Amino acid sequence: MNKFERVYLDIKHKIENGTYPIGELIPTEHELAEIYDVSRETIRKAQKLLLENGFIHKKQGRGSTVLDFNRFAFPISGLVSFKELQADQNMKAETRVIRNEIVKAPDFLIGKEGVTENERFIYLLRTRIIAGEVMIIDEDWFRCSVVPSIPSRVAKNSVYEYLEGQLDLDISYATKDMRAEIVSELGLELMKLTPMDYVIKTDSFVYLEDTTFFQYSISHTRLEKFHFQEFARRRHSIK
């Protein structure tokens, strides 16, 4: 085992047992080099592993902060609301509604799923805040022909609960596209990330039971707080 791997494992253990508490700074690069009697380059390699595995977050001039290493699992194929995700995983989070307005059909939707340029959509922009930091930005476009309005109190709580319980909509399935991308201008503004940071971007087309398209969403998720999880079973051929 290399020196930097031993340093990484020791710091990781100290984070997990609370020696270095969540939200606090670990010792500086210089201090760690003295503690472990290794070069600063060795410490940098160990910190890189800690960063890549979600144990610390480095900010220029501010040192390395210990992250909550207990990540929340996002289902890949499931269609769940954020409120349901909170309940399932005992997640303490706050939703803030940034925008809730009726807009023209966005150019990127015109011509798709029967959307015309004359249509109107409800545009919702919300942030999901965990431990004081914006971890998710959700953008949603709801077809006004299906969803006439969404009260702000609903947008802050659970839109799907409202759509299914009050509007009696039968939400059925979605198609999703997930990829890692450099953070957008919106992410730079609301998440306070750097232009070199990546997020997971998930685009979804959501449909009712009768196959009516009614919602398009873009979710921007910070890497260090979540992992994406799915149960997979091998399909055996019939012999």
| 79-106 confidence digits (pLDDT tens) | 555 665 555 555 567 889 999 999 999 9
Question: At which of 49, 66, 83 does a domain end?
Answer: 66
For 108, residues 6+ apart whose C-beta sits below 8 A from its C-beta are: none
Model pTM?
0.64
Model pLDDT, residue 37: 93
Tokens of 9: 């494992």
In a domain, 31, yes or no: yes
Q: Which long-range contacts (CB under 8 A, 24 or more apart) does 24-27 make?
A: 24/65, 24/66, 25/62, 25/63, 25/64, 25/65, 25/66, 26/56, 26/63, 26/64, 26/65, 26/66
CA dihedral 204, 226, 85, 14 (to 10 degrees): 180
Model pLDDT, residue 197: 87
Regions of the chain short of the pLDDT cut 50: 237-239
Same domain, 50 and 79: no
Model pLDDT, residue 91: 56
Question: At which of 13, 40, 66 does a domain end?
Answer: 66
Same domain, 47 and 76: no
Owner of token pair 């303490």: 92
In a domain, 59, yes or no: yes
Q: Residue 209 in contact with residue 56, Cβ under 8 Å?
A: no
In a domain, 239, yes or no: no
For 37, residues 6+ apart whose C-beta sits below 8 A from its C-beta are: none
Question: At which of 27, 45, 66 does a domain end?
Answer: 66
Model pLDDT, residue 77: 53
Compute the residue count for the chain: 239
CATH number, domain containing residue 56: 1.10.10.10
Rounded Cα distance, 139 and 127, in Å: 9
Same domain, 133 and 224: yes
Instruction: Measure Cα distances from 235 to 78, 143, 177, 218 in Å.
Output: 19, 37, 23, 31
Same domain, 32 and 102: no
pLDDT in tens, 51-72: 877 788 877 677 888 876 655 5
Model pLDDT, residue 22: 82
In a domain, 99, yes or no: yes
Model pLDDT, residue 155: 92
Same domain, 92 and 62: no
Same domain, 86 and 51: no
Same domain, 55 and 118: no
Same domain, 154 and 224: yes
In a domain, 163, yes or no: yes
Same domain, 79 and 131: yes
CATH number, domain containing residue 189: 3.40.1410.10
Tokens of 200: 């997971």
Please give the residue range of the domain that contains residue 43. Answer: 3-66
In a domain, 237, yes or no: no
Q: Is 141 exposed, middle or buried (0-12, 13-18, 19+ CB in 10 A)?
A: buried
In a domain, 238, yes or no: no
Same domain, 27 and 97: no
Same domain, 60 and 91: no
Same domain, 121 and 54: no
As for how many domains the chain has, the answer is: 2
